[in-house]
Amino acid sequence: MERILVTGALGQIGSELVATLRERYGNENVIASDIKMPTADALAGAEPGFFEHVDCTNHDQIQQVVDRHRIDTIYHLAALLSAVAEERPQMAWEINMGGLYHVLEIARSNGCAVFTPSSIGAFGEGTPKDSTPQDTVQRPSTMYGVTKVAGELLCDYYHRRFGVDTRGVRYPGIISHVAPPGGGTTDYAVDIFYHAVRHGNFTSFLGPDTRLDMMYMPDAIKAAVDVMEAEAARLKHRNAFNVTAMNFTPEELAAAIRKVLPRFEIDYDVDPIRQRIADSWPNSLDDSAAREEWNWQPAFDLDSMVEDMLENISRKASREPADKA
Ligand code: SER
């Protein structure tokens, strides 16, 4: 049985990936770690003892946890997202690249497999915007993008040079109702649901026609698990596969929400920094390599995602005090 370490386990993806990995591989075989300590309801259902405090910029801390739990697979999720990375580029380099470098070095000397998420942020100027191919120009204009491209290359290098089993996907914006994202350019597509349920309106920081790829969290989790379980012999690519499930603009998302909440209204107060980041990213990815090499297939489209999000957030809101913003 695999022994798994998840870094950044309290983040947007980690919070849900840990639960899925525990169901699949056994509670005792999945160690959650983060630089923050979990609150009482984070990692709900987790048994005590399987959380470790790990700062991924500290090589020795990661190594100690790998030794203590005899880890053989690392899902390395600890990273800064695009908007916050643009505010603090030096810190983003240190965390996104420094953390990955330590994880890869530890994987090399301990024989671990590594999953690393890349992003639509790994694309930029010169990249074809529609049906962005798997293999194409990658000249991002953000520090986040620079760390994602460098990360993809470093993972490929560790595979070729040292035989480390590195794999990854390029995630689009991820939408979920469990843990909030923090500091991403695609966060509007999560915030909009909370505002729709609580206030019936939303002010978007991206303009009405900004088209981006998106994915509902159950599919994002499935992508991580499926690429790690894929038969190695079928993989022509490793880091990182384009994956997508849908693409839409804020206007189209608002229209889909209106099918369930007809009185929902959207307006715009564009944030120039996040708009510039979004404008540098693709409109839609071509994910045929993932479909061919490991049978990638998302389950949720725009309408089914919207229905599920609204149902879950309404349920959450009904349990909250009335004055909660
Ligand atoms: N969701 C991410 C962000 O907006 C994209 O990878 O930063």
pLDDT of residue 320: 77
94 CA to middle of ligand 1, Å?
Answer: 18
Taking residues 278-287, what's their average pLDDT?
97
For this structure, is 144 an active site residue? yes
3-state SS of 205-232 is CCCCCCCEEEEEHHHHHHHHHHHHHCCH
Q: Give yes or no for residue 317 having a pLDDT over 50.
A: yes
Q: Which helix (H) or strand (E) holds 33?
A: strand 30-34
Confidence check: pLDDT of 119 > 60: yes
Atom of ligand 1 nearest to the CA of 187: 4
Q: Which atom of ligand 1 lies nearest, measured to the CA of 174?
A: 1
The sheet carrying 241-242 orders its strands as: 118-119, 169-171, 241-242
Q: What is the DSSP string of 129-177?
A: SSSB-SS-----SSHHHHHHHHHHHHHHHHHHHH---EE-EEE-EEE-S
Of 77, 119, 247, 277, the residue with max ligand 1 atoms within 8 A of its CB, to mutate for a pocket test, comes to 119
For atom 1 of ligand 1, the residue with the nearest CA is 173
pLDDT of res. 325: 46
User: Over pLDDT 70: what percentage of the chain?
Assistant: 95
Which pLDDT does position 126 carry in this prediction? Answer: 95
What's the mean pLDDT in 17-40?
Answer: 91
**Mean pLDDT calculated for residue range 23-46:** 82
With 0.85 as the threshold, say if the pTM is over it: yes
- In contact, 250 and 188? CB cutoff 8 Å: yes
All domains of the chain in start order, with CATH: 4-173+215-242 (3.40.50.720), 176-214+246-283+300-324 (3.90.25.10)
**How much distance in Å is there from the Cα of 173 to the middle of ligand 1?**
5
Which residues line ligand 1 at a C-beta cut-off of 6 Å?
Answer: 81-82, 119-121, 171, 173, 184-186
Query: Which of 187, 247, 275 has most ligand 1 atoms within 8 Å of CB, for mutation?
Result: 187
Ligand 1 atom nearest to CA at 183: 7
pLDDT at 145 over 60: yes
pLDDT of residue 41: 62
Torsion of CA 216, 33, 104, 67, to 10 degrees: -140
**Residue identifier of the C-alpha nearest atom 2 of ligand 1:** 184
CA 183 to ligand 1 centroid distance, Å: 8
H/E segment holding residue 314: helix 302-318
Closest CA to 43 of 17, 67, 24, 62: 17
3-state secondary structure of 285: strand
- Average pLDDT, rounded, for the chain: 94
For 35-57, write each residue's pLDDT tens digit: 998 876 655 555 554 899 999 99
pLDDT of residue 53: 94
The active-site residue out of 25, 75, 101, 144 is: 144
pLDDT tens-digit series, residues 167-221:
999 999 999 999 887 889 999 999 999 999 999 999 999 999 999 999 999 999 9
Give the model's pLDDT for residue 42: 59
CA nearest to 76, candidates 115, 131, 127, 32:
115
